[in-house]
């Protein structure tokens, strides 16, 4: 399988790619020299939002559509770069009148609606830190994030606010809630429409140091609460260059990224890197649906598409007759991220769209694509590709020693790429723990073949990837034991042909409780509501005991081996 190659001939591509010669560019490139690709203020100051929007709005792309938006109910809107500049300026002025200053945290808990996009940009313009919360989050997930970040302002809608109301007593630092769908102003809850009406269209964008924080995202590890990953304004340089090379974006593209800005892909490649390259972004508020997705690709003449393996597998499952009904000849480049993309998925792209899916690898912490397949480079189906120019990747052992080709080890990156996380919010030790022997250790296991291609093997820890969403088992376990019938819980990711992994929970019930289908459903609903709509266990097994270390820690590795019928390995530290 690993010998299979989809060969590329750049003369045969429908457009000459931005990156024409991977090897030559990789050899010559350095980040300092690339500073000229983005726009700077005097004295080495910068602003990511200025680069994404204002730079275009003040130039030739002023009247060019930047955002094609379609709501879940079919409503359609268009925004030019100029309009996005004015809206984000107004929003920045709104924040200013509310006393927001540099470094303050402003959070968004919204579906994919235009307010989220210009609000995010407006926040960056003030120098405050923008945080996004995925609309599927439940009470506990919201509380953890808003409490830890000490957000001063939250922008949401009436519907989602109900979840915030359940925890707002525990959020003394949250000063105001702004609703996008209300005309009423009270002391604590304000109307965005009312605030925007009065706000001026001009705004002097904050001149930031390259290392000043711009946005933050919470992500999960094996243990503990989610951690706040902070990205700096300079990340725009990485996002700009990688969008150019990997997504091959240019101003005449209609680009559709199916990710949500609640996750890093939606920020880096739906807002920042996309718009800084002058491309138009399509945003569809609605959910996944094969027919609707093909409709969108056709109707908007999408040229470049960035999606996720689970979506690819679901489209494959929906059959090849469906795409044949559509005219998708405009589509010239397709990419994927978030979890392993099976070789079948890569090849299915070629069969159905005439072009293979190009897998890309990165993480919330890396702020931008680090390893990828390129339009100009041969694709080995199943491989994540090669590091982008300016990024040094290697496979290292646990001490940080580089291993020779074809050896499994830790996928590691030389620190210093511009979108590398700049801190973990208020957890300096956690931040430090990512670095070993001069390498950033990703937490993924991989190998590099003799041609330099990287191949994903698995996570080094217990982190679960379900339909591309990153879920910490500890958070699910914590939510489960809050349920009145449960005493203890162990949670693992169980391989699943469609979703990559599903969440499986092993639970011990309180004495006298009996496992039933009704209880199972009740537990699932409980986790959905309290944690997040996607982070609930699709499978639950009621058990009498859980494997534990002598110090009482649940050994998930053991549960997983048992589930998969694999050897359980070293059991010497187990309690029984
Ligand atoms: C983890 C990071 C960065 C955008 C969304 C994910 C897994 C990501 C791939 C890939 C195999 C992948 C890794 C990684 N992952 N891309 N191409 N092949 N695995 O960000 O939620 O922070 O998750 O997703 O395990 O560590 P994230």
What CATH number was assigned to the domain covering residues 10-448? Answer: 3.40.50.12780
- Between CA 426 and CA 404 the distance in angstroms is 37
Find the 456 Cα to ligand 1 centroid distance in Å.
10
- Between CA 455 and CA 340 the distance in angstroms is 9
Domain residue limits, the chain: 10-448, 462-564
| Backbone φ, ψ for residue 21 (5° rounding) | -135, 100
Task: Fold for 462-564, please state it.
Answer: GMP Synthetase; Chain A, domain 3 (3.30.300)
**Residue owning the nearest CA to atom 8 of ligand 1:** 338
What letter does residue 452 receive in the DSSP assignment? Answer: S
- Between CA 80 and CA 94 the distance in angstroms is 21
Find the 547 Cα to ligand 1 centroid distance in Å.
29
Pocket test for ligand 1, best of 242, 365, 470 (most atoms within 8 A of CB): 470
For tokens 């590795």, the residue is: 557
The pLDDT assigned to 575 comes to 67
Q: What kind and span of H or E run contains 468? A: none
CB 305 within 8 A of CB 335: yes
The pLDDT assigned to 93 comes to 98
Find the 340 Cα to ligand 1 centroid distance in Å.
8
**Residue owning the nearest CA to atom 6 of ligand 1:** 338
Which whole-number Å values give the CA distances from 415 to 348, 412, 533, in the listed order?
35, 9, 35
Structure tokens at 234: 């300079």
What letter does residue 279 receive in the DSSP assignment? Answer: P
Please tell me whether residue 21 adopts helix, strand or coil conformation.
coil
**Residue owning the nearest CA to atom 11 of ligand 1:** 340
- Between CA 19 and CA 131 the distance in angstroms is 32
| Backbone φ, ψ for residue 225 (5° rounding) | -70, 160
Pocket of ligand 1 (CB under 6 A): 219, 263-265, 337-340, 359-364, 384, 442-444, 456, 459, 465, 470
The pLDDT assigned to 347 comes to 97
**Residue owning the nearest CA to atom 3 of ligand 1:** 363
CA-angle at 494, arms to 467 and 535, nearest 5°: 45
**Residue owning the nearest CA to atom 21 of ligand 1:** 470
* Atom in ligand 1 nearest the alpha carbon of residue 459: 25
The pLDDT assigned to 551 comes to 85
- Between CA 188 and CA 173 the distance in angstroms is 12
Structure tokens at 116: 């989220």
Find the 526 Cα to ligand 1 centroid distance in Å.
27
Contacts of 444 (CB under 8 A, 6+ apart): 361, 410, 411, 456, 457, 458, 459, 460
How close are the terminal C-alpha atoms of the chain, in Å? 41
Bridge partners of 554?
548
Find the 455 Cα to ligand 1 centroid distance in Å.
13
Bridge partners of 507?
489, 542
pTM: 0.96
Q: Which long-range contacts (CB under 8 A, 24 or more apart) does 98-103 make?
A: 98/153, 98/175, 98/176, 100/126, 100/128, 100/152, 100/153, 101/126, 101/127, 101/128, 102/126, 102/127, 102/128, 102/206, 102/208, 102/212, 103/127, 103/128, 103/129, 103/212, 103/213
* Atom in ligand 1 nearest the alpha carbon of residue 366: 3
Q: What kind and span of H or E run contains 90? A: helix 81-97
CB 467 within 8 A of CB 495: no
Count other C-beta atoms under 10 Å from residue 384's C-beta. Answer: 26
- Between CA 533 and CA 294 the distance in angstroms is 25
Closest to 438 in 3D by CA, of 405, 372, 392: 392
**Residue owning the nearest CA to atom 2 of ligand 1:** 363
Find the 192 Cα to ligand 1 centroid distance in Å.
35
The pLDDT assigned to 221 comes to 87
Helices (H), 105-234: 114-126, 139-149, 158-167, 192-198
**Tens-binned pLDDT, residue by residue, of the chain (576 aa):** 567 999 999 999 999 999 999 999 999 999 999 999 999 999 999 999 999 999 999 999 999 999 999 999 999 999 999 999 999 999 999 999 999 999 999 999 999 999 999 999 999 999 999 999 999 999 999 999 999 999 999 999 999 999 999 999 999 999 999 999 999 999 999 999 999 999 999 999 999 999 999 999 999 988 889 999 999 999 999 999 999 999 999 999 999 999 999 999 999 999 999 999 999 999 999 999 999 999 999 999 999 999 999 999 999 999 999 999 999 999 999 999 999 999 999 999 999 999 999 999 999 999 999 999 999 999 999 999 999 999 999 999 999 999 999 999 999 999 999 999 999 999 999 999 999 999 999 999 999 999 999 999 999 999 999 999 999 999 999 999 999 999 999 999 999 999 999 999 999 999 999 999 999 999 999 999 999 999 999 999 999 999 998 888 899 999 999 999 988 776 666 665
Helix, strand, coil % (nearest 5) of the chain?
35, 25, 40
Query: Does 10-448 match 462-564 in CATH topology?
Result: no
Supply the DSSP string of 373-400, one letter for each residue.
Answer: --TTS-B-TT--BEEPTT--EEEE-TTS
Q: What kind and span of H or E run contains 461? A: none
Pocket test for ligand 1, best of 243, 381, 465, 499 (most atoms within 8 A of CB): 465
Bridge partners of 371?
361, 387
């Amino acid at each position: 399988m690993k010998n299979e190659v989809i060969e590329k001939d750049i003369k045969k591509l429908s457009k000459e790619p931005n990156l024409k010669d991977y090897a030559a560019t990789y050899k010559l490139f350095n980040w300092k020299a690339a500073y000229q690709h983005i726009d700077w203020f005097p004295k080495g100051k910068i602003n990511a939002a200025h680069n994404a929007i204002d730079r275009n709005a003040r130039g030739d792309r002023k009247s060019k559509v930047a955002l094609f938006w379609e709501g879940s109910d079919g409503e359609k809107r268009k925004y030019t770069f100029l309009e996005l500049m004015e809206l984000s300026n107004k929003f920045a002025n709104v924040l200013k009148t509310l006393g927001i200053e540099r470094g303050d945290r402003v959070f968004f808990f919204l579906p994919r609606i235009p307010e989220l996009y210009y609000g995010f940009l407006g926040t960056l313009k003030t120098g405050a830190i923008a945080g996004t919360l995925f609309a599927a989050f439940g009470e506990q997930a919201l509380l953890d994030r808003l409490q830890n970040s000490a957000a001063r302002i939250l922008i949401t809608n009436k519907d989602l606010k109900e979840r915030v109301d359940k925890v707002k007593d525990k959020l003394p630092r949250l000063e105001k809630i702004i609703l996008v769908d209300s005309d009423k102003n009270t002391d604590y809850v304000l109307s965005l429409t009312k605030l925007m009406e009065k706000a001026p269209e001009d705004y002097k964008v904050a001149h930031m140091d390259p290392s000043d924080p711009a946005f933050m995202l919470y992500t999960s590890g094996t243990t503990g609460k989610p951690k706040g990953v902070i990205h700096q304004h300079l990340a725009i340089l990485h996002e700009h260059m990688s969008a150019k090379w990997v997504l091959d974006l240019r101003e005449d593209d209609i680009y559709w990224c199916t990710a949500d800005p609640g996750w890093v892909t939606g920020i880096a490649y739906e807002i920042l890197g996309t718009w800084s390259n002058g491309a138009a972004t399509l945003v569809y508020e609605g959910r996944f649906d094969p027919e609707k997705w093909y409709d969108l690709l056709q109707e908007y003449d999408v040229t470049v598409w960035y999606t996720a393996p689970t979506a690819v597998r679901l489209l494959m499952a929906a059959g090849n007759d469906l795409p044949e009904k559509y005219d998708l000849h405009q589509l010239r480049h397709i990419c994927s991220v978030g979890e392993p993309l099976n070789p079948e998925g890569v090849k299915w792209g070629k069969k159905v769209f005439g072009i293979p899916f190009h897998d890309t690898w990165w993480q919330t912490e890396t702020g931008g694509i680090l390893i990828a397949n390129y339009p100009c480079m041969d694709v080995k189906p199943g491989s994540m590709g090669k590091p982008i120019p300016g990024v040094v990747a290697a496979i290292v052992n646990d001490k940080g020693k580089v291993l020779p080709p074809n050896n499994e080890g830790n996928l590691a990156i030389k620190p210093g790429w511009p979108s590398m996380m700049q801190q973990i919010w208020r957890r300096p030790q956690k931040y430090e723990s990512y670095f070993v022997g001069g390498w950033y250790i990703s937490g993924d296991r991989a190998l590099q073949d003799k041609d330099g291609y990287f191949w994903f093997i698995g996570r080094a820890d217990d982190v679960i990837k379900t339909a591309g969403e990153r879920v910490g088992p500890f958070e699910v376990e914590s939510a489960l034991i809050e349920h009145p019938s449960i005493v203890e819980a162990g949670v693992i990711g169980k391989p699943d042909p469609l979703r990559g992994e599903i969440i499986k929970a092993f639970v011990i019930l309180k004495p006298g409780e009996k496992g039933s289908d009704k209880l199972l459903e009740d537990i699932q609903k409980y986790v959905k509501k309290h944690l997040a709509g996607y982070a609930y266990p699709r499978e639950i097994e009621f058990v009498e005991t859980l494997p534990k270390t002598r110090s009482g820690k649940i050994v998930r590795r053991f549960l997983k081996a048992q589930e998969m019928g694999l050897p359980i390995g070293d059991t010497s530290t187990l309690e029984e």
